[in-house]
Amino acid sequence: MERFWIKKIKRSASEEAANKLIAKYYKEMYAFIYKQTLDKELTLDLTQEIFISVLKSIHHFDDKKASFRTWLYKLASNRLVDYFRSKSYQYTQKEQPIEEYEFQDEQNIVISLEYKEEYEKVNSFLNELDAASQQIVRLKLFGEYTFQEIEAMATIPLSTVKTKYYTALKRIRHAMKEHFYE
């Protein structure tokens, strides 16, 4: 059914087919992005941007090279890398008042703040990596792709994917140790 929708979008810019294709992947893509931002509004914005980009560039999609899902994740991970390197991300990270944090109940305040702080620190170390390493780590950890699937998406050898992934994790672990044991 997915191929049918893509063909209709390519041929006649079918709004109905576009809506069905987006509906099929929206929740999955939202979850992928939310795991990396922990911000509902930002996730909504980025998800929307990604699907707009998908629809604008769908004529470049070739199902002989990769599945639509694989292509979608590649576009999404590239967009996330761009976002985390953007000036707007750098600006929003400078300071966020405590009033903007959302808590389920008072007992979880400390746990929520610690988790968010650790997440933000790991994410900042991840953002310091080169774009290819970032993409591999994001697809593996947040997209739950296998190394073989990432190899196909990134069009680089499997050994390079694994090397970049494990090197990136080693760098992040090292940076975390330095940060917490300063």
Write down the pLDDT at residue 101.
47
Three-state DSSP state, 96? coil
**pLDDT at 54 (0 to 100):** 93
Amino acid at 34: Y
For position 106, what pLDDT does the model report? 47
Amino acid 3: pLDDT: 87
- Joined tokens for residue 32: 């992928």
User: Given this model, what pLDDT does residue 182 score?
Assistant: 57
Residue 11: CB atoms within 10 A of its CB come to 9
CATH architecture of 1-94: Orthogonal Bundle (1.10)
Which residue ranges of the chain lie beneath pLDDT 70?
87-117, 180-182
* Domains 1-94 and 107-182 in one fold: no
Q: What is the pTM of this model?
A: 0.68
Q: What's the confidence (pLDDT) of residue 64?
A: 82
> Residue 110 has which token pair?
């400390």
In CATH, which of 3.40.50.880, 3.30.470.10, 3.30.70.3270, 1.10.10.10 is domain 107-182?
1.10.10.10
The position carrying tokens 């090397």 is 163
Q: List the domain boundaries for the chain.
A: 1-94, 107-182
Q: How far from 149 is each of 3, 68, 107, 140, CA to CA, in Å?
A: 20, 13, 41, 9
Strands (E), the chain: none
